[in-house]
Chains A and B, each alone.
Chain A
Amino acid sequence: MLRLIAFRVAQFPLILAVIYLLTFLLVWVAPGSPFTNERNVDKAVLDSLKRKFHADSAWTFLAYYPKNVLTGDFGPSFVHKEWSVADIIRSALPISVTLGLFAMLIAVPVGVGIGTMAAVNRGGALDWISLIIALVGISVPGFVVAAVLLIFAAETNWFPVGGWGSVKDMILPGLALSLAPMAYIVRLTRVSMLDTLGWDYVRTARAKGLSRAVVIWKHSLRNAFLPTMTYLGPATATTMTGSFVIEKVFHIPGLGQHFVDSVTGRDQPLILGVVMVESALLLVFNLLVDLAYGWLDPRIDITAKAG
């Protein structure tokens, strides 16, 4: 087991390096410079800025910045010149992580619950109703849900209208963020639950006299949960790196807005920093999920996988 973990972790730097290079190439190909504004800047001014930031050409950039990445220094942001990328990520990441975890904490239990009940009541009213509710997450654009919730908060005054500072601020944005993963979890759980409930051991358990509830929740769920488990890896990572839309509408200073703003602003170091963080999270969570897989279902021998 330990060998597997070590093996996987050892692969991280290689994968991250490749992602760094690819993102870097893409960013340099894009026309537009981070140093231009509304007014046309003197070419001399532009050149001097580029030189100051080691950004006059792809090579100077590569010569200067990547080696510092290993120490956690991604360089200064080209757009927010007073802040280093590390500072920005340090201020935004905890917020996005908190919000993302909160959203997943809503999505997983609720999603699994609805999915299970839909499977158990196959074809019945509960099946349809719960599916429709869950599918809102993938049938209505995120900004619509967020905007509606915001207006709702404004009209009723039960919730704060955005911002970030106390637990109450998490509720509405967390809810909005949880809908999409919840929808996926509902569908996954439903399908795999339907499948599991048909297996022989379930019929045996019922025949032995175990109650329906125990059979569903205690025995079937563990197997039915596996596909959801696999989905949780990438889902948690992407939810944690923040949703741009939710953050914009509820004005939460998280990482999601930096994803988009850094691209529209061509802020190369920030783009690279944010991509690195997201990729790292993705890799870590995928590893955690694979480990949990083996723990959840002892029949699966994950060390047997090619890795």
Chain B
Amino acid sequence: MTTAAIPIQSQTATTTAVQHAAPEGMWRQVLRSRRVLIGGGILFGILFLCLATLPWTLKSSSTFYYDYQDRSKLYQSSAWDVRSWFGYDQLGRSILARCLLGGIISLAVGAAAATIAVVLGVTVGLLAGFRGGWVDSALMRVVDILYGLPYILLVILFKIAFENPLSRLVQPMWANIIVLFASIGLVSWLTMARVVRGQVLSLRGQPFIEACRALGLKEGRIFLLHILPNLIGPITVYATLTVPSAILQESFLSFLGVGINAPLPTWGSLASDAVQQMSPIKLHWWLLVFPCTLLAVTLLSLNFMGDGLRDVFDPKKEAAKI
């Protein structure tokens, strides 16, 4: 693939996307993209590993239990038997077991944030794009203002406001998790809203939509048959890109102490605990290296996947829709 060829092909791809009612060819192209394959492959590999080991990491009687505190192994470094592969932490817990369960929770955070981002972002974006006028201005000003507010303030406030009332309905552990998911999701939908709105606006102005209207098609059908399919692309791309950012947000919140409740692990909280225990005297490197590597590899794959998808769906997208 030479430099000159790709842009032309992608130009055609874009125009194809806009003109066809349902771009099935797009998905085939997705599966051919190397970035998507490699990124997706690694991601699903890790996910599978974490899910497959759940019966052990969640069984409280197993030595692989994520909170099994083995007094004989406090702060021990990596060794060759499986449980010791990633070493142990200060309370004698296997870092491997904690990383495996931590992966589920971290990825769940990402998935939840992406879901909220899609639901909220698409709704707002569609409303703004379709209604236009003052609805559009108002909604976009809201998005701008939310961008300007301090994120930490919003998260802490949200947590404080809702965690207690919620723990009356469900167990405190679940309340903590739900509130964490919700608060990260709440700050992740802004970009999606902007992207969707932009896409809707640009599609509405296209001649073929005018043509549809001239032909007498109802607004509803235009939306379902023509606009929505062209939205799926960008939505997928940004949903995929929301996941890594959400996982990083969670690690930042753990560093601040407002993340997930102990003793549940996430990769971010494992990394943050490790950093706080580092010193040049005794560098417990295994506490940091393993969770961070898993985190970095997963996030890299997600970003690769997102980039690959974006290359396929909208290679010309301007930066404003980061």
Residues of A whose CB lies within 8 Å of any CB of B are: 15, 18-19, 22-23, 26-27, 29-32, 119-120, 122-123, 132, 135-136, 138-144, 147, 151, 154-155, 184, 187-188, 191-192, 194-195, 197-199, 203, 226-231, 234, 244-245, 259-260, 263-264, 271, 274-275, 278-279, 282
Whole-angstrom distance between the alpha carbons of A102 and B318 in the complex? 26
With contacts A122-B1, A198-B10 taken as known, whether A135 is within 8 angstroms of B153 at the C-beta atoms is no
A191 to B10, CA, bound (A): 12
Say whether A203 contacts B316, CB under 8 Å: no
What mask results when residues 22 to 47 of chain B are scored 1 for a CB within 8 Å of chain A, else 0?
00000000000010000000000000
- Which of B88-96, B144-152, B167-175, B225-233 makes up part of the contact surface? B144-152
Residues in B lying within 8 Å of A, measured CB to CB: 1, 3-4, 6-8, 10-11, 34, 144-145, 147-150, 152-154, 156-157, 160-161, 244-245, 248, 251-252, 255-256, 268, 271-272, 275, 278, 280, 283, 288, 292, 295-296, 299-300, 303, 307, 310-311, 315-320, 322
Interchain nearest-CB distance for A122 vs B (Å): 6
Which residues of B lie under 8 Å from residue A139 when comparing CB positions? 244, 295-296, 299-300, 303
> A120 and B3: CB pair below 8 A?
yes
Indicate if the CB atoms of B149 and A26 lie closer than 8 Å: yes
Choice from A194, A227, A229, A263 contacting B152 with Cβ under 8 Å: A263
Contacting residues, chain B, for A227 (C-beta < 8 A): 318-320
Q: How far is the CB of A280 from chain B (nearest CB, A)?
A: 10
A27 touches B153 (CB 8 A): yes
Min CB distance A204 to B, Å, is: 12
Given the known A-B contacts A30-B156, A263-B156, are A228 and B319 also in contact in the complex, defined by CB atoms under 8 Å? yes
Select the residue from B148, B248, B295, B300 with max chain A CB neighbours within 10 A.
B148
A residues near B307, Cβ cutoff 8 Å? 187
Q: What distance in Å separates the Cβ of A277 from its nearest Cβ neighbour in chain B? A: 11
What residues on A are CB-neighbors of B272 within 8 Å? 141, 143
Q: Is the CB of B280 within 8 A of A26?
A: no
Known: A143-B272, A144-B275. A135 touches B156 (CB 8 A): no
A135 to B305, CA, bound (A): 13
Asked whether, in the complex, the Cβ of B317 is within 8 Å of the Cβ of A141, the reply is: no
Which 10 residue pairs across A and B have the least CB separation, nearest first? A198-B7, A227-B319, A139-B299, A141-B251, A147-B275, A139-B296, A279-B148, A230-B319, A154-B280, A231-B319
Contact of B303 among A138, A154, A263, A274 (CB under 8 A): A138
With a cutoff of 8 Å between Cβ atoms, the chain B residues found around residue A140 in the complex are 292, 295-296, 299
Cα A22 to Cα B147 in complex, Å, equals: 12
